[in-house]
Amino acid sequence: MLEIRKKSARITVCYIAVLLATVILGSCQVGSRPRLRVSDYFGSPAGMRFPDPEDLGRHCLDDCRDEKLGLVYTCRAGFIDIGHLREAADRTHYLAQITYQNLIRSNTNFSYRVIEPSRYYITLGYPNDWKDLPRQDKEALAWEISTQLGQYLAHTSLIWHEILTWYGFSSAGVFPENISAFSFEDPYSDVLGTHLAAKVLRDRQCFYEEAAYEDAMAAMIDETLKELDAQPPKTAKQAAKKIKGDWYKGGYYFFVEMKKRNLDIGLDDGIVTPWQVQGICPDAMPQDCTAPNFGFLDEYGFKIKVRIKPVVFEKGKIYKAAGLKRSDRITPYIHFPMIIESIRKEAKQLEGNHVDTPEQ
């Protein structure tokens, strides 16, 4: 096992910032869970919003009137669901905080909920010399590890959300959300949100100060959309019009037929590729996103086991797809690929062999 002291020397420069933040925070509890944002989707009975990408307002952990949601079309990444992106970022922020506090306390087991009615159980294995590490090095390493692990755990929770909604779960507790499960823009918007949050938490030291995190996220979203060549609302509406009939048919929820499902969540090759609309920005090269994973922990001598206990009516269908007994818990890296393939098979039976690609 690689001794963790070798790693501590590389990141001691982070210590002063982490120590100050720890002193300010003291032993306070982790903030409230990330909130559900009502995102836009094709066929929404309330219609779709196409906000100006240069006027998306603030980013708010709590409800605020200044935060803009909706679908933005970008040349390099297709449609971006701003609601999904923001929520993914806040899940990363929240889970990084939880992870950090458990690392500092050397806890081997902890659990949490995010938004959906499921509980996540985490088991951590520590390097042999973790308890002997000087506190300043331990705090700096916990900062670095929790940021990356928070991103992985957030991505896991977002995949789980899509799985739940495919099988009929309703976040709002009203109508089943199968219509929006694995929609064209969701997987990329989700993973991009985790990347932006991880970048903010590493580079802007916004882990403890919520106001600083919110300001940095608003700026990061604006900067990233420019890099992806975000287009004005007029172009976004044109792109939505071009895919109607090919990617989806009809409108207004119960009368919508989703002809395409984006099941590219990075489980196969570690890459999430955006779906671009043909004829919109025809020369733009897609900007792929890497899917977060926990492989980096080996470098530090840590181990992790993640399990999910669903508390939803749809549990039976999901467990059948994964070949599990009702008393079992879901282990994402083992069972997610099995569940996704079951969903892919079912989607192809409904809409044909090209349901999981943007091409016809």
Chain segment 280-300, per-residue pLDDT in tens = 999 999 999 999 999 999 999
3-class state of residue 289 by DSSP: strand
- Burial letters for 57-85: b for 16+ Cβ neighbours within 10 Å, e otherwise? eebbbeeeeebbbbbbbbbbbbbbbbbbb
User: If DSSP states are collapsed to H, E and C, what string results for 51-85?
Assistant: CCCCCCECCCCCCCCCECCCEEEECCCEEEEHHHH
Q: What's the pTM?
A: 0.89
How many Å is the maximal CA-CA distance in the chain? Answer: 63
Residue 254, pLDDT score: 67
Classify residue 112 as exposed, middle or buried by CB count within 10 Å of its CB (0-12, 13-18, 19+). Answer: middle
Rounded mean pLDDT for each run of 10 residues along the chain, 360 residues in total: 45 40 39 76 75 96 91 97 96 96 96 94 96 91 95 98 92 73 95 97 81 96 98 96 90 79 95 96 96 95 97 93 94 97 96 91
Q: How much is the pLDDT for 256?
A: 83
pLDDT at residue 359 in the model: 85
Q: One-letter amino acid identity for 8?
A: S
Q: Provide the pLDDT for residue 93.
A: 96
241-283 residue pLDDT tens? 999 999 988 776 667 889 999 999 999 999 999 999 999 999 9
Beta strands 257-258 and 109-112: pairing type? unpaired
Rg of the chain over CA atoms, in angstroms? 21
Residue 314 near residue 165, CB atoms below 8 Å: no
What pLDDT is stored for residue 28 in this prediction?
A: 36
Site of tokens 């009939």: 245
Q: Where are the beta strands (DSSP E) in the chain?
A: 71-74, 78-81, 109-112, 118-125, 248-249, 257-258, 271-272, 289-290, 303-310
pLDDT at 38: 75
Give one DSSP letter per residue of 209-245, joined into a string: -HHHHHHHHHHHHHHHHHHTTB--HHHHHHHHHHHBT
Centroid of chain to Cα 355: 23
Query: Can you give the pLDDT at residue 253?
Result: 62
Which residue in 265, 312, 47 sits closest to 168, CA to CA? Answer: 312
SS3 content of the chain, % helix, strand, coil (to 5): 45, 10, 45
Distance CA 162, CA 160 (A): 5
